[in-house]
Amino acid sequence: MSEIQQLLGRMPVQQIAQQAGVGEDEARQAIEAIVPALVGGMRANAHDTAGAQSLAGALGAHAGHLDERLAGSIDPGDGQKIVRNVFGDNTEQIARAAGGGSALGGIIQKVLPIVAPIVIAWIANKFSGQGGQGGQPQAPEQGGFGLDDLLGGILGGGAPSPQGGGQQQSGGGPLGPLGDILGGLLGGGRR
């Protein structure tokens, strides 16, 4: 089982559906569509120093809070902040693209601020357990274990592509064509 599948398997779909005011099947589809894009967006932002430092700070703030998030302790305001930091002004476009241009895009926008704190807490726990010092994630160092390695591993992509953006090749991997959209919109790093 891939790491992205493990993450998807941990999602409290029923709680997310209730909080978003949508059906469980719709919530599940939205979660499966947007979680890889959220991780991919974080990876794109980690490709420049300021983005990596911002993400490392966010991971430090969310480390150790996964069980709370899975139990329903989610602040949608915090989720909106995470989404804004990852996708910027492109959130609506990315939600539409992840939803395949269907009504799922609107549902994705409802679940995204609920799912984002769970995703970042899960990544924070992985990062602090593998590469952080004293439970606090550190910004990646040249040639060392870093955010891009971790996020690429979660996506199943490993090392970043030489073309920048760090996304899977066109149409491949867990992001599929959405990887191209993320790379184009985020340009390999927003910060």
Which of 89, 86, 98 has its CA nearest to residue 34? Answer: 98
Cα separation, 137 vs 110, whole angstroms: 29
**Mean pLDDT value of segment 147-172:** 52
Cα separation, 4 vs 63, whole angstroms: 18
Res. 125 pLDDT band, cuts 50 70 90 = confident
The backbone region for 158, taken as left when phi is positive above 0, alpha when psi lies in -120 to 50, beta otherwise, is left
More confident residue, 176 or 125: 125
The lowest-confidence range among 6-20, 33-47, 55-69, 154-168 is 154-168
Residues 6+ apart with CB under 8 A from 69: 117, 118, 121
Residue 124 near residue 63, CB atoms below 8 Å:
yes
What average pLDDT does the structure give for the chain?
76
**Mean pLDDT value of segment 84-99:** 89
**Mean pLDDT value of segment 41-47:** 85
Cα separation, 19 vs 3, whole angstroms: 25
- The pLDDT tens digits of the residues spanning 47-78 come to 878 888 888 888 888 888 888 888 888 888 99
